[in-house]
Amino acid sequence: AKVEADAKKNKEEGDKYLAENAKKEGVQVTESGLQYEVLSEGDGKKPVATDKVTVHYKGTLLDGSEFDSSYARNEPATFNLNQVIAGWTEGLQLMNTGAKYKFTIPAELAYGTRNLGKIPANSTLVFEVELLGIEDEAEEAAE
């Protein structure tokens, strides 16, 4: 029951935070509810959902506690854009290579009702993401 109560509380806090955050200058909201803020623009190309991307990122909960950071590991992360949470798949396609964005991701575009230890159920997540590079799957296949 505590888990359910926490999940409900997290959802309410997340919705409240998202409503406030959406009013901030520079914050844009997509149709799905993803919020993003451009911290710095890039001038490279934008990835598509099937690309493999290399990023530096930091993920925090609304209270500011960090649950993951490639900066802390001193090593960028590389992954297929269609194999991550929906908020990332959508958000990173808005970015040009070299850009740094801040994403505020509603639980339903993140891990939803799953409780992942460091990330409680229904958590709204905040990520700072720097898009370092794109590997085009088609180019790799051609080599």
Report the CATH number at residue 106.
3.10.50.40
Of the candidates 48, 24, 47, the one whose C-alpha atom is nearest the C-alpha of residue 37 is 24
117 assigned to some structural domain:
yes
Query: For residue 106, what pLDDT is reported?
Result: 99
**Which residue range forms the structural domain that includes residue 21?**
2-137
pLDDT at 24 over 80: yes
Query: For residue 1, what pLDDT is reported?
Result: 80
34 assigned to some structural domain:
yes
6 assigned to some structural domain:
yes
71 assigned to some structural domain:
yes
Q: What is the mean pLDDT of residues 110-120?
A: 95
Query: For residue 139, what pLDDT is reported?
Result: 54
pLDDT tens by residue, 48-58: 999 999 999 99
12 assigned to some structural domain:
yes
User: Which residues are CB-neighbours of 119 under 8 A, at least 6 positions away?
Assistant: 61, 67, 110, 111, 125
d(Cα 69, Cα 66) in Å, to the nearest integer? Answer: 7
Q: What is the mean pLDDT of residues 109-131?
A: 97
**Cα atoms found within 13 Å of the Cα of residue 53, Cβ hemisphere only:** 31
143 assigned to some structural domain:
no
Q: Domain tally for the chain?
A: 1
d(Cα 101, Cα 27) in Å, to the nearest integer? Answer: 10
Q: Which amino acid is at 36?
A: Y
**Residues with a known catalytic role:** 57, 67-68, 85, 111, 127
142 assigned to some structural domain:
no
8 assigned to some structural domain:
yes
Reported as a pLDDT band with limits 50, 70 and 90, residue 134 is: very high
Reported as a pLDDT band with limits 50, 70 and 90, residue 3 is: confident
pLDDT tens by residue, 57-111: 999 999 999 999 999 999 999 999 999 999 999 999 999 999 999 999 999 999 9
Which residues pair with residue 36 across a beta bridge? 28, 103
What average pLDDT does the structure give for the chain? Answer: 95
